[in-house]
Structure 1
Amino acid sequence: MRNLRIWAILCLCVCAAVMFCGCTGTSTGETPEQGATTATPTPAEKIQVKVFHAGSLTGPFEKLKAAYEEEFPNTEVLLEPAGSVDTIKKVTENGKPADAVASADYALIPKMMVPDHADWYLTFAKNTMVLTYTSDSKYADEITAENWYEVLGRDGVRWAFSDPNSDPCGYRTPMVIQLAEAYYEDDQIFENLIEAHSDITVTEENGTYTIHATEPNPDSTTLTIRPKSVELVQMVQSGGLDYAWEYRSVAVQNDLEFIELPAAIDLSDIEHADTYATVQIECKKGDGTTIYTGAPIVYGVTVPAIAEHPEMGIEFVKMLIGPTGQEILTGDGQPPIVPAGGYGEVPAALNSLVAMKV
């Protein structure tokens, strides 16, 4: 009997507690009592616009990102630089979605992305190969456009370029050095500078030179090779290297000294396209190889088929090829192509800024 009374008292206490909690709660639409807290609405998350791009575009794209986010405050642009070959592989081989992809060699887009991963692309800027250095580099007070290859061959001089298998600047550098042989009338330039310090070789057949660079293996004492050309900038600035091959725009953006080469070998001029085409380079592609042929340096951009926000990617491209992008590129030492060249099914939103090509 005593146990029953205890259980009855406990049940009454529980019921009273439940009723008390229900009575003191605040129902929807009521004003909370003083001292009570209310949940603060979470602001809508910004749209993340992912842009994969060549490392040499880092400077201008940082400025473009700021302009884009100002015009579209509900967005956050995520820039992801890499060598252009690796940049495109992120989409085509790894399936990583990007809302825009920009390459330092426009030809990589039709070669690697069309038609499975993109159905259009634009050409939007040009560039030039240069040899960069600082005032502290060895023989900085002697090097010129006439003797650079002799200076690079001197004992103790450390120089570099990027990996031909990852970065267009990397496969363009051996092309420039091979083209230099005919221009300077010295058939030992390539052998002295590259073959003597790596496993990169060259063969000739019917006037066309093929550079074999699938396994570079530099000695890393005289010649250094890194995945991206922009990685070499800090090495030159810190004194870890005396010279590095870069695009002119990268040299300008990083306040580096540089040697401007003759147009016949610097891959800048369409008038020398036939000369550039006498050199090609064999590089790795998956389990096999591929050939890149010498040509004027032209940058390309597209919006991949797997873009998560294709409309925002198109807006990024529109700003890039419009007045804002043109001004940024010019200021960073990279001549824009105006109007941009269009190939394939270019979106209607870009038509007013594009000259369609065959």
Structure 2
Amino acid sequence: MQRRSFLLGALAGVPAVALTPAEAAEPVSVLYAGSLLSLMEKGIGPAFDARGEGAFVGYAGGSGALANQIRDGLRRAEVFISASPKLNDTLGAGHGDRVRWYIEFARSPLMIGYDPRSRFAADLKARPWYEVLQQPGIRIGRTDPVLDPKGALTVQMLQRAEAAYRLPGLASRVLGAPDNPRQVRPEESLVGRLQSGQVDVGFFYATETADLHIPDIALPPDIVVAAHYTVTILRDAPNPAGAERFVAFLLGPAGRAIQLRHGLDMVGPTLTGDAAALPDLLRPFLAPGK
């Protein structure tokens, strides 16, 4: 897809839209990256509902798994929010043509989060993280690198660390096989496993550790990797008008303020794809950039 840069417009908000009671109650189904669970269910979703412009219905999962389900016709929705821009291309022309444009609106760097009750917590505060993660008995949680961008970024970060710290084989010693069943967990359950003490340490985005007050270790700039969140309206959306109102809220000042409170870094927004297919309701929030 062709990439074009845009900056957020200076409008104060979305123009009011007169809706019938039926339109206001019509569900807007949103498939979103599991790392945004708290943001969507405690922030964006309730705030959108309160506007009376639709009824938010969210479903969280690994972005890759959700993209596969959309492509295979296993899930239908109005809106798809991914943690990896390239997943939108797997739903474009030649792949069902369900995505013709997408907007990158936020990012969040990968962090190492840990259980403060873990017997390894003191070591994580005092010793290099890559040494502690190789200790016998440590329970590591991560997501599937095939089904979830966070899992792929975890592998990428460990590979960068090998080069940065001159530690050949570090990734395999810490992670084992890419699909290591002792570590790989569904994205939507990984936080819960850490909080319940089932794992000692895991790989999370900063929005998750900040939002849920999980102690974390920030990674240095030479190895840090990040999620890049995108939003699109699926071409076969059952309720396209509701989808437009939802995305307008997400990109508008109120939606972005909620995102900031939940620890996301604002970017762009950047539009990629067919600009002519972008709904008119979203155009006031975007202005040509350099």
Give the TM bin, normalised by the shorter chain.
0.7 to 0.9
Structure 1 residue 119 corresponds to structure 2 residue 100? yes
Aligned partner (choices 254, 258, 265) of residue 328 of structure 1? 258
Structure 1 residue 76 corresponds to structure 2 residue 55? yes
TM-score, normalising length from structure 2?
0.84
The corresponding residue for 1:227 is 186
Counterpart amino acid of residue 91 in structure 1: I
Secondary structure of 1:126 counterpart: strand
Secondary structure of 1:112 counterpart: coil
Displacement of 1:303 in angstroms is: 0.3
Consecutive unaligned residues in structure 1, runs of 5 or more = 1-42, 201-215, 269-296
Structure 1 residue 101 corresponds to structure 2 residue 103? no
Displacement of 1:168 in angstroms is: 0.7
Counterpart amino acid of residue 202 in structure 2: A
Secondary structure of 1:324 counterpart: helix
The corresponding residue for 1:193 is 174
Separation in 2, partners of 1:87, 1:232: 17
RMSD of aligned residue pairs (Cα, Å): 2.1
Counterpart amino acid of residue 234 in structure 1: G
The corresponding residue for 2:249 is 319
Structure 1 residue 303 corresponds to structure 2 residue 282? no
Query: 1 or 2 for the larger relative contact order (CA 8 Å, sep ≥6)?
Result: 2
Displacement of 1:263 in angstroms is: 1.6
Aligned partner (choices 34, 38, 45) of residue 59 of structure 1? 38
Secondary structure of 2:237 counterpart: coil
Displacement of 1:357 in angstroms is: 7.8
Separation in 1, partners of 2:69, 2:49: 24
Consecutive unaligned residues in structure 2, runs of 5 or more = 1-20
Separation in 2, partners of 1:252, 1:235: 17
Aligned partner (choices 107, 110, 113) of residue 129 of structure 1? 110
The corresponding residue for 1:255 is 213
Q: Is the 8 A contact 1:51 1:80 kept in 2?
A: yes
Q: Is the 8 A contact 1:318 1:350 kept in 2?
A: yes
Q: Is the 8 A contact 1:129 1:266 kept in 2?
A: yes
* Distance of aligned partners of 1:341 and 1:118 in 2 relative to their CA distance in 1, 3 Å threshold: same
Q: Is the 8 A contact 2:67 2:90 kept in 1?
A: no
Structure 1 residue 352 corresponds to structure 2 residue 281? no
The corresponding residue for 2:7 is none
Separation in 2, partners of 1:47, 1:191: 49
Counterpart amino acid of residue 130 in structure 1: M
Counterpart amino acid of residue 298 in structure 1: H
Counterpart amino acid of residue 178 in structure 1: Q
Greater gyration radius:
1
* Distance of aligned partners of 1:150 and 1:330 in 2 relative to their CA distance in 1, 3 Å threshold: same
The corresponding residue for 1:207 is none
Separation in 2, partners of 1:130, 1:91: 29
Displacement of 1:356 in angstroms is: 5.4
- Cα deviations across residues 302-334 of structure 1 (Å, max 9, x unaligned)? 000110111111111111111111111111111
